[in-house]
Amino acid sequence: MTKATSLRRAMAERGLVHVMATHSPLSAILAEQAGFDGLWASGFELSALYGLPDMSLISMTQHIEMLRAIAGRTSLPIVADVDTGYGNAINVIHTVREYERAGASAVVIEDKSFPKVTSLAVDGHHDLVRTEEFQGKIEAALATRSDPDFLVIARTEALIAGLGEEEALSRARAYEQAGADMILIHSKKQHPGEIESFSKAWDGDIPLVIVPNAYPELSSDHIRALGNIRMVIYGNYAIRAAATAMKDTFHRVIADGGVQHVHRSLLPVDEIFRLQGMEDVRADERRYLR
């Protein structure tokens, strides 16, 4: 059974899967140990890791290299954020082929124009491509995947662009018609009203995906009650948690004039060794080094 098959099966059996953002193999290991169902190879998080804005500045090569490194250190299925697919439908063919080969079990492609601006930017220019053009991208992705269970998730940014629910529904229906496996509906409102309304109005046969970054009060029980959402992606929490911890630690070291206090609140080095798999290396040394 492929990881893509296991992801589909988890949604069918559990009704809702929880997918945590990741930007490195270490964050992937921690997410798996915490009990998440899958990983989100986040473009926002990788951009932040490089200290760059999420504006299509990170290349596909950089994304693929990190995806491959993450896939090598986890058994979880990976949902890859490919933004706009790096161009038109021809670029999408190359994108899907390379991401699947690198270890992704799904891709999320959004209907913005390239280059894109991160969805939560208040003053961002959120220009969408024509519906027919995006249908071609979906069809290209579906024709390219080698594993029939590999998920092609169509993300509409109609609500992000301020175009309203009817436009979002119209686009989502067109993307389902093109063959998309799921629809990711995104909102930057600081309350879940837009998402709840869309979910209740959605009359398609394929399930929804949401990313409750702007409206964190939407709990899993509430999401389940909506009835047609099968995947929730926690889209920027790993990098925010890491940045919070590093910022706090670095300021404390400067304030204290050393690490004599802060070290007590950090993971011990032995725990980092465990996450690195040092015991396995030691076992291999005992077995093979002569």
**Could you report the per-residue pLDDT of 7-17, keeping only the tens digit for each?**
999 999 999 99
Within this chain, do residues 134 and 269 fall inside the same structural domain, yes or no? Answer: no
**Whole-prediction pTM:** 0.95
Closest CA to 93 of 105, 103, 79, 107: 107
pLDDT at 88 over 80: yes
Q: What is the pLDDT of residue 28?
A: 98
Within this chain, do residues 230 and 252 fall inside the same structural domain, yes or no? Answer: no
Q: Which pairing describes strands 208-210 and 106-110: parallel, antiparallel, or unpaired?
A: unpaired
Domain of 36, CATH number, reads 3.20.20.60
Within this chain, do residues 122 and 266 fall inside the same structural domain, yes or no? Answer: no
Residues 6 or more apart whose CB falls under 8 angstroms from that of 35 comprise none
Within this chain, do residues 11 and 34 fall inside the same structural domain, yes or no? Answer: yes
Per-residue pLDDT averaged across 210-237, rounded?
Answer: 96
**Could you report the per-residue pLDDT of 128-143, keeping only the tens digit for each?**
999 999 999 999 999 9
Within this chain, do residues 167 and 267 fall inside the same structural domain, yes or no? Answer: no
Per-residue pLDDT averaged across 183-191, rounded?
Answer: 95
Within this chain, do residues 227 and 281 fall inside the same structural domain, yes or no? Answer: no
Within this chain, do residues 48 and 128 fall inside the same structural domain, yes or no? Answer: yes
Q: How far is CA 11 from CA 4, 59, 184, in A?
A: 11, 31, 15
Contact status, residue 208 vs residue 185, Cβ threshold 8 Å? yes
* Residue where the block lists tokens 């991160």: 118
Within this chain, do residues 68 and 171 fall inside the same structural domain, yes or no? Answer: yes
pLDDT at 269 over 80: yes
pLDDT top residue among 121 and 147: 147
| Residue 163 structural domain | 3-236
**Upper half-sphere CA count for residue 83 (Cβ side, 13 Å):** 25
Q: What is the pLDDT of residue 68?
A: 98
Put residue 15 in one of left, alpha, beta given phi > 0 → left and psi -120 to 50 → alpha: left
pLDDT at 124 over 90: no
In the listed set 202, 220, 236, which residue is the last one of a domain according to the structure? 236
Within this chain, do residues 80 and 134 fall inside the same structural domain, yes or no? Answer: yes
Q: How far is CA 116 from CA 80, 119, 125, 134, 199, in A?
A: 16, 8, 8, 14, 25
pLDDT at 42 over 90: yes
**Could you report the per-residue pLDDT of 140-174, keeping only the tens digit for each?**
999 999 999 999 999 999 999 999 999 999 999 99
What positions carry a catalytic annotation?
54
Within this chain, do residues 108 and 213 fall inside the same structural domain, yes or no? Answer: yes
Cα angle 175, 180, 183; round to 5: 75
What is the full DSSP assignment across 95-156? Answer: HHHHHHHHT-SEEEEE-BPSSP--TT-TT---PBPPHHHHHHHHHHHHHH-SSTT-EEEEEE
Within this chain, do residues 71 and 55 fall inside the same structural domain, yes or no? Answer: yes
Using pLDDT thresholds of 50, 70 and 90, give the confidence band for residue 119.
Answer: confident
Mean pLDDT computed over every residue of the chain:
96
Q: Domain total for the chain?
A: 2
In the listed set 220, 236, 252, which residue is the last one of a domain according to the structure? 236
Q: What is the pLDDT of residue 114?
A: 87
Within this chain, do residues 109 and 195 fall inside the same structural domain, yes or no? Answer: yes
Contact status, residue 179 vs residue 139, Cβ threshold 8 Å? yes
What is the phi/psi pair of residue 234, to 5°? -90, 95
What is the phi/psi pair of residue 287, to 5°? -85, -40
